[in-house]
Structure 1
Amino acid sequence: MNRLLSRTIRLSSVLSVCMLLTTGCWSRIEINDRAFVTSMYVDDAGNGQVRVSLGFPLPNRLVQGQSGGVSNDGNPYTHMTKEGKTIAEAIRKIQNDLSREINWGSNRIIVVSSQYAKQGMQPLMEYLGRLPHIQLKTYLFVAKEEAEKIPRMSAVFERFPSEVLREFARRRMTLNALFEI
Structure 2
Amino acid sequence: MRKFITPLIMVMIIPCLAGCWNRVEVNDIAIVTAIGLDRMENGDIRLSLQIGIPANLGPIGAGGGNKGGKGTFVISETGETIADAYRKLQEKIARRIFFSHSRVLIIGEKLARNGVSQIIDFFPRYKEPRMNSFIMFTKGQASELLRSKSKLENVSSEETRELNKLNVGLKVSIKGFWEMMLAEGINPTAPAVNLKYLEVKNKSESKTEHSPSEKTQSIVGAAVFKKDKLVGWMNEAETRGILWLRNTLEAGVITVNIPKKRGGGKISAKIISTKTDINPKFQGGQLTIEVNTRSEMIVVESTSKMNLTKTKMIEILQSKLEEDIRNKIQLALDKAQKQFHSDIFGFGRAVYQTYPKVWNRKYKKRWDEEFPKLNVTIKPKVEVKRIGLTIETK
TM-score by length of 2: 0.40
Q: 1:143 to 1:69 in 2, by over 3 A?
A: farther
> Which residue type is aligned with residue 112 of structure 1?
I
Structure 1, unaligned stretches of length 5 or more? 1-5
- Whole-Å separation in 2 of the counterparts to 1:67 and 1:20: 45
- Which of 147, 150, 154 pairs up with 2:142? 147
Q: Distance in 1 between matches of 2:163 and 2:18?
A: 41
1:110 aligns with 105
Cα deviation for residue 134 of structure 1 reads 2.1
What is the rounded CA distance, in whole Å, between the counterparts of 1:42 and 1:120 in structure 2?
A: 12
Match in the other structure for 1:169? 164
Is residue 2:198 matched to residue 1:179?
A: no
Tell me which residue corresponds to 1:83: 78
Q: How many angstroms apart in 2 are the aligned matches of 1:74 and 1:49?
A: 33
Question: Per-residue CA shift, 1:108-138, capped at 9, x if unaligned?
Answer: 2100012211110112211112111221211
The equivalent residue for 2:392 is none
**RMSD between aligned residues:** 2.8
- Aligned residue runs from structure 1 range 1-181, under 5 A: 21-63=16-58, 69-72=64-67, 74-177=69-172, 178-180=176-178
Q: Which has the higher contact order (CA 8 A, sep 6+)?
A: 1
**Residue 171 of structure 1, CA deviation:** 1.5
Distance in structure 2 (CA, Å) of the matches to 1:126 and 1:84 = 16
Aligned residue type for 1:172: N
Q: Report the more deviating stretch, 91-100 or 21-30.
A: 21-30
Following the alignment from structure 2 to structure 1, what is the Cα–Cα distance between the partners of residues 8 and 66?
50
The match for 2:356 is none
Comparing 130-139 with 18-27, which one deviates more in the overlay? 18-27
SS of aligned partner of 1:51: strand
Number of aligned residues: 174
Residue 21 (structure 1) shift: 3.9
| Percentage of identical aligned residues | 26
| Structure 2 gap ranges (5+) | 180-394
Q: Is the 8 A contact 2:107 2:138 kept in 1?
A: yes
Task: Check the 8 A contact 1:68/1:159 in 2, yes or no.
Answer: no
